[in-house]
Amino acid sequence: MIYLDNAATSGIKPSRVIGAVEYALKKYSANPGRSGHRLSMNAAMAVYNTREKLKEMFAATQVENVVFTLNCTHALNCVIKGVLSSGDHVVVSDLEHNAVMRPLERLRKDGKITYSVARTVDGDDNATLSSFKNCIKQNTKLIICTHASNVFGCVMPIKLIGQMCKENGILFAVDAAQSAGVLDIDMQKMSIDFLCVAAHKGLFAPMGTGVLIAEKPLENTIIEGGTGTDSFNLDQPLIMPEMLESGTVNLPGILGVSAGVDFVKARGVRNIYLHEFDLCKYLFESLSLCKNVTLYNNDFKIFEKVPVVSFNVLGHDSNDVAVRLNEYGIAVRSGFHCAPSAHIKYGTDQIGTVRVSPGILTKKEEIQYLIKILKRF
């Protein structure tokens, strides 16, 4: 199977990640930080070392600010429900995933918050920034923005938006599900207060692993329970990371995250991006010559797009295209990709798109085979 659905999850895990998970199951099957025996202490140190790697990778200030979550959606919910209070206003982009929009909509329907949607302008960072500025109100507490669209690959001017938030005393959260491990992220230079990461994507970790790095305090929690600390206090601890990590953590998954970070550092974030970008640019340019294919961007420019190409084949439903490609041994994503806002923006809210997202291990010959099959439609 030619796997081209890496925007959903990295399909082929590096051998070092597989080895780390297997090793954890064999040698680290103890609850970290919950006991005084050697196995528990070794497990706790392994978790701490992974936090350190993530702190360094994303330029966080404190190891304790690194929290392990179930996935990026979990991390985003922790932020949205952790910082917002009754009467607060939020600004989002018009490209957001339902991981952002559904919790916000729930809070809006409950009468707790309001939110505004900023219009993004592909290829014009200043126009996008101006749109965000125009949405700010006196009670705006949080701006939350995807770093890159999971459907159309558009990269947002995160550094500019972060600086604007800093100047206006507004918290800034970034959904890095499609960018962590593919684009360089420096939380300090980009003024990011909360970074939400899908470790199972660009960090090549197992599914069921996410990361939240919280540089600013969270007022509320979405789950409470045992943390191994201050057990006779029935109030949830307020110190990080225990505040957000109730119950037993996913130790094999965390060791997989650690190995995934090592893999990304060894390959180089820029090298990973350039390899995947070149494949997408080749696909984009090849499909632009096909009269039966509709593309949704005028161009595919370096660092303005993450390695994602969405298209449709004239006369064919996007889901039917994916089914047919599967028959040829090609795995792609079709439909609405849990991002209705992006589809409404691009006019594909009735038909969806076929999405191709190669990985670091994808070969050019595999993209050429995909193009060959698409020409048969």
Our count of domains for the chain comes to 2
Question: 10 Å Cβ neighbour count for 215?
Answer: 18
Q: Which residue range is the domain that position 192 belongs to?
A: 15-266
33: pLDDT strictly greater than 80: no
Residues 216 and 107 in one domain: yes
Residues 357 and 248 in one domain: no
Phi, psi angle pair for 140, to nearest 5°: -70, 120
Residue of 217, 211, 171, 219 lying closest to 191 (CA atoms): 171
Which residues make beta-bridge pairs with 173? 144, 194
Residues 62 and 154 in one domain: yes
- Which of residues 237, 266, 295 is at a domain's end? 266
Rounded mean pLDDT, 274-303: 94
Residues 191 and 206 in one domain: yes
Q: Which two tokens stand for residue 170?
A: 């507004």
* Nearest-angstrom CA–CA distance, 84 and 92: 14
Please, what is the average pLDDT of the chain? 95
37: pLDDT strictly greater than 80: yes
The DSSP letter of residue 243 is G
- Which of residues 266, 281, 312 is at a domain's end? 266
Its pTM stands at 0.96
pLDDT for 68: 98
Domain contains 351: yes
34: pLDDT strictly greater than 90: no
Mind listing the pLDDT tens digit for each residue in 203-225?
999 999 999 999 999 999 999 99
Question: 10 Å Cβ neighbour count for 260?
Answer: 28
Mind listing the pLDDT tens digit for each residue in 98-131?
999 999 999 999 999 999 999 999 999 999 999 9
* Nearest-angstrom CA–CA distance, 367 and 156: 27
Mind listing the pLDDT tens digit for each residue in 327-344?
999 999 999 999 999 999
Residues 294 and 230 in one domain: no
Contact 298, 316 (CB under 8 A): no
Rounded mean pLDDT, 18-29: 92
- What would the DSSP string read from start to end of 159-201? HHHHHHHHHHT-EEEEE-TTTBTTB---TTTTT-SEEEE-TTT
Mind listing the pLDDT tens digit for each residue in 225-282?
988 887 888 888 889 999 999 988 999 999 999 999 999 999 999 999 999 999 999 9
Q: Which two tokens stand for residue 318?
A: 């996007």
Residues 286 and 208 in one domain: no
Contact 19, 348 (CB under 8 A): no
33, 39, 41 from 36: Cα distances, Å: 8, 8, 7
% residues pLDDT > 90 (the chain): 88
Q: Which amino acid is at 97?
A: H
* Nearest-angstrom CA–CA distance, 258 and 57: 11
